[in-house]
Structure 1
Amino acid sequence: MELLDRDGLYAENPEGEGTRYPGVFTAGLLYSIVVFLFLFFGTMAQSINFYSGIIITETALILLPTIIVLAISRYELKKVLRLNKVDLFNLFLVFCIMVFSIPVAGMFNIINIWLVDHIFGRSIIVQPPAATNLEGLLVNTLTVGLVAGVCEEVFFRGAIQRGLEKLGVAVSITLAAFLFSIMHVQFERLLGTFVLGIIIGFLVYRTNSLFSGIFAHFLNNTFGVLVTFAANKLSSISGPASFEQNVEVTELESFFEIFGDMSAEQMLAVIVLWIVTIATCVFILVALLYALVKNTKKEAAKAARREKVKKWEFLAFLPGLLLIIAMYFLQGIALKGFGSQAAKIILELIGA
């Protein structure tokens, strides 16, 4: 059965039900549109006011274009986006998987920050304003955790990953995670975000439900909100809080310098403890993923078959990828100090 229509815009249901699914071209076109809106309008909105900006970005610039493209193309949203119920036990497994995924992703982020620091001489990590009270914590949880989790999952795992599925399940999950990671335009979080993207994409595929991805994304973002809140409270004990939206990672740089002052025995002990901790998390994570696989045989069987794709379809991703590459280039020269003034002006104009 031919997977593409003559325009190469959609994939048919592999089970022969006649349901139309977005293809690679549609996924690429949508990605380029959202990247343009996000980089040129979303970052500006968030620089003016973080909370209203993130709501505008997530709902109007990420979620709305996704729904419009799918609706205009007359796709059946429930099936395309996998808006299916999740078994309670599977939801519990998703929770446990994320508990042990976050430390693993954190390890990749530390490695990532170390690499950026050694390549560019410094590293800057972007974080939302820290909550100072329970009301602020609730607002951060709703905006950063819930709103971002819902909108980004509809876009990445609902539309993009689904559109790439005819390349194969593993390829679609990996590519969607890669696109998810680079769109954040943060050198320091590329690896960790990529790893989490793969895990979340796998959860959505195995459970055949976008709600698994939304729940996992919510847990990850909310964990970050809670950690920042706790750190802010601890810092307020010794002095006034000094958290900003853009924070240079001097603390992590100092952390890495500590290793240079350690004896060989101390260094070995720290490395062994670190390896044992991460290895334990990885072992438990693999066991939980295996349990999920065993419990989702019927759900995962509904994914699309691997089929040939016309090369020209990938061109739809090109505009979005070129914009992202340009942003990373500007960030790189700004971090390195080459042409920093011009780079800063351009980055400030778009609110990055």
Structure 2
Amino acid sequence: MTETRRTNRFALLFFIYFMMTSVALAMVPAIRELSDSAYMLLAQLICFLPPMAFYFFSTRKDVKQTLRLKPLGWKNVLIIISFAVSIQPVMSLLSYLMSLFFPNPVEQSIEGIQQSGLIVSMLSVAVIPALLEEVFSRGILLSGYQFLGRWKAAFASALLFGLLHMNPQQLPYAFVVGFIFCFLVARTDSLFAGILPHMIINGTTVVSIFTEGAGTGPVELEQSVILVTLLLMALLSIPWLALLLYIFLKINPPKAELQLMDETGNLYAERFITPSIVVIFLLYAAFGLFPYLST
């Protein structure tokens, strides 16, 4: 079995376990009585930790090497922090465009997050998801897809990261930032290049929720006004994002890509689409997309 097929099978098992465990937890009365943020915190730990531990136990892979647990360096830290802040107008635009067609789960959980308190909410929405989702997506998956090639590996990891959200409203911007995180991690050879911006982006959302809650309430604006405002903010952020990317590329030159030859002497390449991936697509269509289309 090739490394890509093995990674695809793990991804499928992870999706199945994730979905079954999420449903099972929702049926436990004691857990359902927890605050929204406390519930999310517990659910994430139970849904992510066991399958990831099983992965390393069954494959015997080196954890440090697979997850690229290397320091970033202060220059990369500053650039990535600035990048995480500056890319949020683009993310907000993508999120708003999709919210015109599908409900935004973040907006639906605002009240529950506010009632849970800032510290618990920051842990459940920003810190823990950044750690667990990055270990799964930019750690295990990105490493497992190395024989696809640099760009295909980033595409595969980002796509599964987007599908894992099981929500069409979140899929586009999750895929976009997931792909960017893959690029940051690959260039720095450090998983912290994904964890840091992930944590900042989610943490900004939490802060904005509590900031709005402390005010007089959101101002109702027409969709056209909101769309134009978000579009202008996104366009204004692009030159600064381009400059940050240029500086990042200068600091982090490309590393030699792993290349293998097959028995005929041609460049060896694996295929991403296998039966396991097809089943993941079907699961997403049935449980992540169809419920929104049928309402």
TM-score, normalisation: structure 2 = 0.84
- 8 Å CA contact retained: 2:139, 2:191: yes
**Partner of residue 105 from structure 2, selected from 120, 126, 129:** 126
Identity %: 21
When the two chains are superposed, the root-mean-square deviation of aligned CA atoms in Å is 2.7
For residue 143 of structure 1, report the CA deviation from its aligned partner: 1.5
Whichever of the two has the greater Rg, that structure is: 1
The answer to whether the aligner puts 1:330 opposite 2:287 as a matched pair is no
The equivalences for 1:63-142 within 5 A come to 63-114=49-100, 116=101, 123-127=102-106, 128-130=109-111, 131-132=113-114, 136-142=117-123
Q: Distance in 2 between matches of 1:326 and 1:291?
A: 43
Query: Aligned in 2, Cα 1:98/1:305: closer, same or farther, shift over 3 Å?
Result: farther
Residue 316 (structure 1) aligns with: 276
- Equivalent residue for 1:189? 170
Deviation at 1:303, TM superposition (A): 4.9
Q: TM-score, normalised by structure 1?
A: 0.72
> How many pairs are equivalent?
280
One-letter identity of the residue aligned with 1:126: P
Q: Secondary structure at the match of 2:171?
A: helix
Residue in structure 2 matching 1:34, options 2, 7, 14: 14
Residue type at the aligned position of 1:25: R
Distance 1:34 1:322, change over 3 A: same
Q: Answer yes or no: is 1:61 the counterpart of 2:47.
A: yes
Alignment of 1:153-172 (within 5 A): 153-172=134-153
Decide whether aligned partners of structure 1 residues 311 and 278 sit closer, same or farther in structure 2, where only a CA change above 3 A counts.
closer
Cα offset, 1:276, TM superposition = 4.3
Task: Report deviation, 1:208.
Answer: 0.6
Distance apart, 1:315 and its partner CA: 2.3
Q: 1:237/1:227 Cα in 2 relative to 1: closer, same or farther (>3 Å)? A: closer
Contact 1:46 1:53 in 2 (8 A): no
Q: CA deviation at 1:176?
A: 1.2
Give the SS at the match of 1:187: coil
CA-CA distance at 1:125 after TM superposition: 1.6
Whole-angstrom CA distance in 2 between matches of 1:161 and 1:183: 15
- Partners in 1 of 2:89 and 2:209 — Cα distance? 15
- Report the counterpart of residue 215 of structure 1 in structure 2: 196
8 A contact 1:32–1:318 mirrored in 2? no
CA distance in 1, matches of 2:86, 2:70: 25
* 1:209 match: secondary structure: coil
Q: Output one character per residue of 1:203-252: Cα deviation in whole Å (capped at 9) or x when no partner.
A: 111111001111111111111111111122224699xxxxxxxxxxxx6x
Deviation by residue 1:89-113 (Cα, 9 ceiling, x = unmatched): 1011110111111111111112222
How far does residue 255 in structure 1 lie from its aligned partner after superposition?
A: 2.9
In the other structure, the counterpart of 2:255 is: 301
1:287 matched to 2:277? The reply is: no
Cα distance change, pair 43–91 in 1 and its aligned pair in 2 (3 A): farther
Quick one: which amino acid aligns to residue 49 of structure 2? L
Q: How far did 1:36 drift?
A: 1.1
Q: Which residues of structure 1 form unaligned runs of 5+?
A: 1-6, 9-22, 117-122, 239-250, 260-266, 336-352
Letter matched to residue 103 of structure 2: I
CA offsets per residue over residues 65-103 of structure 1, 9 Å max, x none?
123212321111111110111111101111011111111
- Structure 2 Cα separation of the partners of residues 237 and 320 of structure 1: 38
Sort the Cα spacing of 1:311 and 1:198 in 2 relative to 1 into closer, same or farther, 3 A. Answer: closer
TM-superposed deviation, 1:291: 0.9
Which secondary structure does the structure 2 equivalent of 1:124 belong to? coil
Distance in 2 (alpha carbons) for counterparts of 1:323 and 1:161:
21
